[in-house]
Amino acid sequence: MAEEVEIRGGVAVITGAASGIGTGLARKAIALGMKLVIADVRADQLDAFAATLDGEVLALPTDVRDLKAVEALAEAAWNRFGQVDILFNNAGVMATGFSWEIEPERWQRSMSVNVDGVLNGIRAFVPRLLEAGRPARIVNTASVGGFLPAPLMAPYSVSKAAVVALTESLHFEMQMIGAPIRVSLLAPGPVKSGIFDDPFGPHVDPAARGFVETMRGMLTANGLSPDEFAQRVFEGLAAGNYWLFPQPEAIDPLFERRAASIRDRATPQLLNFSEL
Ligand code: NAI
C-alpha cells in the first residue's frame, strides 16, 4: 500500500478547472489547505475563477490535447511549488447526435480531450512523480457513461470507456514497479456543470435536441452541486479508494442491471436517464 498523500500544504493540479466539477475540486482543495495549479483551455474564465480563490494558486491556460502544453504545466507546477501531490485529469467534453452523423471533427475532439488529455497528463506527470519518489495520487475522470454506454452520445461513451481502461492499466503499472503513486478512477453521475452547454455540431438532429433537453433537465433536477460532489471525492480519496463513485445511490442499480445483462447474455436494455 502506498503511503497517504500530503493534503494540508500539498499541491493539487486540476485540468478543466474553469467550470463545473473542476471549480468544486479547486475550492475543496483550497479549503483543505492545499496549494493549487489550475488549468483550462478557456483562459479568461480560468483567470476569473482563480481570482475568486483565496490561497496559493497558479492558473495556467492549457489545452490538454497538446502534450507540450501539459508538459509545460507540469514544469510550471514543480518550478512554482517544488512538488505535486494530487493530479486531477478532469477536463472533458460532450458531443451528442447519432454516431454516424456526428461530424468527424467532433468525434476527434471528444477522443482528443477526453482520452489524449488524460494520457497527456499521465505522460507529463508520471515521470516527474516517479523521480520525486513521494506518495502521490492521480485521479482520472471518466463517467458512469464509461460503464453504461448510451445512445446519442457515442463519442462520450467510447472516450470515457477508454479512460476506464487506461486508468486501470496505469494502476497495475504503478503496482508492478512498486511506485508510491496511487491511482483512482472517478466516475461522476449527474453534477450541475457546463458539460451540456455546447454539445451540438452544425447539424442538430431533433432526437439529439430532445436528448440534450432531457439531460439538462436531469442535471438541474438531480445533479449534485460541484462543491457537494468535491466533498465526496475527497472523502473517497481519504479512504484510499481506487473506485470513486460519489453517487452510488444513482449508479449501483444500473451497474447491477448491466452486470446481470452480461452474465445472462441478455440484450442490453436502453438506459433510462431519469433513473440517474
Ligand atoms: P464543464 O463543461 O463544466 O467543465 C469542463 C471544463 O473542461 C471546462 O472548463 C472546459 O473549458 C474544460 N476543457 C474542455 N476542453 C479542454 C481542453 N482541451 N483543455 C483543457 N480544458 C478543457 O463540465 P464538468 O461536468 O465539470 O466536467 C468535468 C469532468 O467530469 C469531465 O471529464 C466530464 O466528462 C466529467 N463528467 C461530468 C458529469 C456531469 O454530470 N457534470 C458526469 C460524468 C462525467
Domains in the chain (CATH in brackets) are 11-251 (3.40.50.720)
What's the CA gap between 99 and 128, in Å, rounded? 38
Q: How confident is the model at residue 187 (pLDDT cuts 50, 70, 90)?
A: very high
DSSP state letters, 226-251: HHHHHHHHHHHHHTT-SEE-S-HHHH
Percent of the chain at pLDDT exceeding 70: 97
Task: Give tens-digit pLDDT for 114-127.
Answer: 999 999 999 999 99
What are the Cα distances from residue 248, in Å, to 48, 193, 212, 262, 274? 33, 19, 23, 20, 15
Q: Indicate if the pLDDT at residue 70 is higher than 90.
A: yes
- Between 198 and 76, the more confident residue is 76
Pocket of ligand 1 (CB under 6 A): 15-16, 18-22, 40-42, 62-65, 90-93, 113, 117, 141, 143, 188, 190-191, 193-195, 219, 223
| Residue 52: partners with Cβ closer than 8 Å, 6 or more residues away | none
Q: Indicate if the pLDDT at residue 236 is higher than 90.
A: yes
Ligand 1: centre distance to CA 267 (Å): 31
What's the CA gap between 273 and 142, in Å, rounded? 17
What's the CA gap between 88 and 184, in Å, rounded? 10
What's the CA gap between 36 and 53, in Å, rounded? 10
Q: Indicate if the pLDDT at residue 198 is higher than 90.
A: no
Q: Indicate if the pLDDT at residue 3 is higher than 80.
A: no
**Given the CA of residue 192, which atom of ligand 1 is nearest to it?**
41
The H or E element that residue 158 is part of is helix 154-176
- Which pLDDT score, from 0 to 100, does residue 48 have? 98
Candidate from 13, 14, 19 with most ligand 1 atoms within 8 A of CB, to mutate = 19
- Which pLDDT score, from 0 to 100, does residue 273 have? 64
Task: Give tens-digit pLDDT for 200-211.
Answer: 888 888 999 999
Ligand 1: centre distance to CA 81 (Å): 25
- Which pLDDT score, from 0 to 100, does residue 275 have? 62
Candidate from 40, 118, 157, 245 with most ligand 1 atoms within 8 A of CB, to mutate = 40
- Which pLDDT score, from 0 to 100, does residue 1 have? 41
Lowest mean pLDDT among 2-11, 49-58, 105-114: 2-11
**Given the CA of residue 64, which atom of ligand 1 is nearest to it?**
19
C-alpha cell at 96: 451528442
The closest of 246, 243, 219 to 231, measured between CA atoms, is 246
What's the CA gap between 276 and 115, in Å, rounded? 24
**Given the CA of residue 194, which atom of ligand 1 is nearest to it?**
3
Ligand 1: centre distance to CA 271 (Å): 22
C-alpha cell at 73: 504545466
Q: How confident is the model at residue 167 (pLDDT cuts 50, 70, 90)?
A: very high
SS3 143: coil
What's the CA gap between 159 and 141, in Å, rounded? 11
Strands ordered across the beta sheet of 181-186: 57-61, 35-40, 11-15, 86-89, 136-141, 181-186, 243-244
Ligand 1: centre distance to CA 108 (Å): 16
Pairing of the two strands 136-141 and 86-89: parallel
What's the CA gap between 62 and 75, in Å, rounded? 13
Q: Indicate if the pLDDT at residue 257 is higher than 80.
A: yes
Question: Among all residues, which ones are annotated catalytic?
Answer: 156
What are the Cα distances from residue 272, in Å, to 29, 135, 178, 211, 240? 34, 40, 42, 11, 32
- Between 157 and 274, the more confident residue is 157
- Which pLDDT score, from 0 to 100, does residue 200 have? 85
Average pLDDT for the chain: 95
C-alpha cell at 268: 442490453
- Which pLDDT score, from 0 to 100, does residue 29 have? 98
In contact, 244 and 139? CB cutoff 8 Å:
yes
Cα angle for residues 167, 168, 171 (degrees, 5° grid): 90
User: Phi first, then psi: what are they for 39, rounded to 5°?
Assistant: -135, 145
Ligand 1: centre distance to CA 179 (Å): 29
In contact, 96 and 208? CB cutoff 8 Å:
yes
Percent of the chain at pLDDT exceeding 90: 91
Q: Max CA-CA distance within the chain?
A: 54
Task: Give tens-digit pLDDT for 132-151.
Answer: 999 999 999 999 999 999 99
- Which pLDDT score, from 0 to 100, does residue 250 have? 85
Strand partners, 59: 38
